[in-house]
Structure 1
């Protein structure tokens, strides 16, 4: 995630999060606004009911909230991915999918009721002004912004603003007797889509893509070019936990891998109109080998990428069956600052597959599918994946593929239960490792002043003493003993990754965790002897 957000407290990536990150922006209605929004008895009934409540109901009622409930109730009867975006959420959602926002460029979290800078965005306004890791921001434009009454949203509102406007920050820095003052001019801050891009071997590159936003293709292209210049002829594209985004951005990325005129996908709307998308002459990795890493949280545009490559007999899909979302949404304003993302078509992979999971049993059952997969054993054994023979398709080279609920990988990698252990997940979700690492680092940051990223990656090891201190820290925070005796090596890896992230950024974090990653290991096995 990008600056000005509570980035370094790890979040549990739940299946229901897919509601918020949806495909949009491809299709347009051809009906005129008069035709779409003309008077009819159904609309008159709703309007009349709201008016009766407004003017005649015995108690005072917030009719805005009634309208919100009504809109959500209507959408709940459509499909799981048609969603309502209240006006107070629309800016945040828009920024997330646009790929940038206006701010001061810091990664922070609230530590002991005070804003602590984890890292200023390199090259951003705070970085240029001299803000450093470990700084505590205590005032903004003369207002104190510390204490329990300040939520993260309140803090972000103070720090964000109009482009080229200034905010004065008062900062407490360790070793300085007086508060430091900084005048910082707000500017565009990117929300990164590419979290990591590095060489795994002399010929295998790795790119971690977390969304398909407006800026994602440019980031991806820049990362791909960098890796090719370093000798990459093979690429591991990590789409795990990528919930999707814009369909057009997915098409641009696929175009880098597919030969000219290969079908990428097609969509079909309510009227049966079909629109097809084909690869163009553009594409700088058509000769390279591609491996797509997916899991049960890879959805939407991620599945478009995997499906297009699989159906064109290009590359290898590695991991577990993906989420299963084959619907296309378009965002439409509702006139009061809110919006709705309405499903306007279905998309199909080149062989004609729809990978949309059934939603006939209601939204609740739909979003509980993850737990159903876990109970059935599908996440640990691909033989437990249920497929319908009626949804069987064949690629041009004779590979059998299936529709009806996600992309089934070519190479199955079971869920790593040591990494997904409940205790470790709990520790990570609560942010304890990030907090602990920050405190350890804050004792003496000068220790790492001359340490390069490469030296840290190769030679730094987390000692047993650090693990013991973390155990004591955890017991103190939880007021009870939390045992992770069987997972000391994993805890060491997680501590090193968090430290690498706070010192060097996201790429170091992924590079460290990937050094003990089952899917990466599977890709390396497929390239054994290169």
Structure 2
């Protein structure tokens, strides 16, 4: 189930004038997910009885039975576990029981449900769109429909919680849910039964041809299903005649190492080194390309930025160290630690760092974390102040961490992957604000209201017609500017009229057609993709 918040919360509201700092906070989201979860957890050997364990158990029992006031000892345990892990490293984390199912779905790349994205709109569940190929779409549920009841349970009103809604719509695979659906466009209520199925949490945000021979694939994570999605997208593009590919890993926080290795294997010849890991006992494990990849001889560009982390850095580092492709963008996050998920027996779990990883040349790209988690996750602010997001020569490197690829290219360890071709970030508050309102759900709510009034205009329009012929009028952009000014966010975007129109059009495309079309519209003026096209043009001239 995809949910989008209607407006920024109060914390976001206060931070909007300082959005370059907001992005630094966003770096923390999902970065620790670069894990290796295919293992057998033999906890009996690890957790033998000890005086340390007895001491903690006894303290909890004393508080439970003897303390003067009633105390929720479960919360004390949670705080204790978090405190222990925070003193280890920034990526060893505790997953409470209440959050485990969501985390598991995210890494599994699927959930069991009906497959709709929705808003709580005026206290009613409003469908933004049914997920393509999902149960709801097959049952006939459309964008704009209101879900009123699920098996007789009321889904509207102020007292209904989002979590409750999700629980009503999710369920056992192949079970049915009877929905009462109001369709405003027809002014009638429908009874629709939907059989719950596995619904994918899609990893490929976009896959399309930029030019006749240049394809584009954007990955948002490395889950269990990512490689299959990637392989399908790549096969389709190859069948359409592409010889070159842009792999977009910007803002991808990572995921399974094994998935990242399989993606890399598509580009590297057999027996090329992909990754080195080293654990506490000094045991070294090396992963090599093991089969014929589908794009070993194709030209490759990889896009990264300061939010590309973990498995994304494994992919970029392996390709860079093997002299495959061109890495474009800005220095990546800098996470070189491997986590393993371990159950705590009560539905909660920990992801514990169990090894470090190194790129094929032997470099570690893990940033220092000895000064605490707050300092670690505020590194974006430091990069912003130092100017490295604007100027490539502001990136600080150490000669002691210099490595050389087989073809003689110099690369550096010590904190992220430094791109081969640098593209500066537009750090103006207005532009970052525009990016924020586009991807946070703030603009989406406005667009949903716009579509509520204009769905008949777009009925029967395909994406090609929309892309070529639909023009965002000045009146719509001015309406959004006023909406943003007087909403709780109080944003002024009046100086970014053209960019705003493109972003509005992209958000309309997203709700009408999907995320692929959203990225196509936004990418038309994307600086990194424009750099790719510039490099392509220069390469063409050199060959003449």
1:201 corresponds to: 211
The answer as to whether partners of 2:5 and 2:441 remain within 8 angstroms in 1 is no
1:496 corresponds to: 505
1:25 corresponds to: 37
Q: How does 1:361-440 map to 2 (within 5 A)?
A: 361-417=371-427, 421=431, 423-425=433-435, 427-428=437-438, 431-440=441-450
Q: Which runs of 5+ in 2 are unaligned?
A: 13-21
Q: Residues 507 and 418 from structure 1, CA distance in 2 versus in 1: closer, same or farther, beyond 3 angstroms?
A: farther
Q: CA deviation at 1:429?
A: 6.3
Q: Which stretch of the first structure deviates more once superposed, 58-67 or 326-335?
A: 58-67
Q: Which stretch of the first structure deviates more once superposed, 123-132 or 430-439?
A: 430-439
Distance in 1 (CA, whole Å) between partners of 2:284 and 2:334 is 21
Distance in 1 (CA, whole Å) between partners of 2:477 and 2:345 is 55
Q: Which stretch of the first structure deviates more once superposed, 439-448 or 183-192?
A: 439-448
1:273 corresponds to: 283
**CA RMSD after TM alignment:** 1.9
2:17 corresponds to: none
1:343 corresponds to: 353
Distance in 2 (CA, whole Å) between partners of 1:486 and 1:269 is 52
The answer as to whether partners of 1:290 and 1:314 remain within 8 angstroms in 2 is yes
- The one-character-per-residue Cα deviations of 1:219-268 (angstroms, maximum 9, x if unpaired) are 00000000111111111000000000000000000000001100001100
2:106 corresponds to: 96
**Corresponding position: 1:117 with 2:127:** yes
Q: How does 1:40-439 map to 2 (within 5 A)?
A: 40-417=50-427, 421=431, 423-425=433-435, 427-428=437-438, 431-439=441-449
| Residue of 457, 463, 474 corresponding to 1:453 | 463
Distance in 1 (CA, whole Å) between partners of 2:86 and 2:46 is 21
Q: CA deviation at 1:111?
A: 1.5
Distance in 1 (CA, whole Å) between partners of 2:253 and 2:401 is 24
**Corresponding position: 1:521 with 2:530:** yes
Q: Which stretch of the first structure deviates more once superposed, 148-157 or 358-367?
A: 148-157
Distance in 1 (CA, whole Å) between partners of 2:329 and 2:141 is 41
- The one-character-per-residue Cα deviations of 1:184-212 (angstroms, maximum 9, x if unpaired) are 11110000000100000111100000000
Q: Residues 178 and 452 from structure 1, CA distance in 2 versus in 1: closer, same or farther, beyond 3 angstroms?
A: closer
The answer as to whether partners of 1:419 and 1:490 remain within 8 angstroms in 2 is no
TM-score by length of 1: 0.95
Q: CA deviation at 1:486?
A: 1.4
Q: CA deviation at 1:444?
A: 2.8
Question: Partner of 2:396: helix, strand, or coil?
Answer: coil
Distance in 1 (CA, whole Å) between partners of 2:218 and 2:446 is 26
Distance in 2 (CA, whole Å) between partners of 1:311 and 1:266 is 12
Q: CA deviation at 1:476?
A: 4.3
Question: Partner of 1:455: helix, strand, or coil?
Answer: helix
The answer as to whether partners of 1:9 and 1:109 remain within 8 angstroms in 2 is no
| Residue of 479, 485, 498 corresponding to 2:494 | 485
Q: Residues 475 and 289 from structure 1, CA distance in 2 versus in 1: closer, same or farther, beyond 3 angstroms?
A: same
Distance in 1 (CA, whole Å) between partners of 2:31 and 2:71 is 29
- Number of aligned pairs? 525
Q: Residues 280 and 185 from structure 1, CA distance in 2 versus in 1: closer, same or farther, beyond 3 angstroms?
A: same
Distance in 2 (CA, whole Å) between partners of 1:33 and 1:131 is 47
Q: CA deviation at 1:451?
A: 1.4
1:6 corresponds to: 4
Distance in 2 (CA, whole Å) between partners of 1:379 and 1:290 is 24
The answer as to whether partners of 1:82 and 1:329 remain within 8 angstroms in 2 is yes
- The one-character-per-residue Cα deviations of 1:350-396 (angstroms, maximum 9, x if unpaired) are 00000000000011100110111111111111111111111111111
Question: Partner of 2:487: helix, strand, or coil?
Answer: helix
Distance in 2 (CA, whole Å) between partners of 1:450 and 1:179 is 23
The answer as to whether partners of 1:135 and 1:171 remain within 8 angstroms in 2 is yes
The answer as to whether partners of 1:204 and 1:235 remain within 8 angstroms in 2 is yes
Q: CA deviation at 1:419?
A: 8.2
Distance in 1 (CA, whole Å) between partners of 2:191 and 2:32 is 39
Distance in 2 (CA, whole Å) between partners of 1:287 and 1:460 is 39
Q: Which stretch of the first structure deviates more once superposed, 378-387 or 416-425?
A: 416-425
Q: Residues 28 and 165 from structure 1, CA distance in 2 versus in 1: closer, same or farther, beyond 3 angstroms?
A: closer
Q: CA deviation at 1:425?
A: 4.8
1:37 corresponds to: 47
TM-score by length of 2: 0.93
The answer as to whether partners of 2:31 and 2:309 remain within 8 angstroms in 1 is no
Q: CA deviation at 1:271?
A: 0.5
Distance in 1 (CA, whole Å) between partners of 2:434 and 2:394 is 26
Distance in 2 (CA, whole Å) between partners of 1:492 and 1:417 is 20
Distance in 1 (CA, whole Å) between partners of 2:500 and 2:148 is 33
- The one-character-per-residue Cα deviations of 1:281-311 (angstroms, maximum 9, x if unpaired) are 2311000011110000000000000000000
Distance in 2 (CA, whole Å) between partners of 1:412 and 1:479 is 33
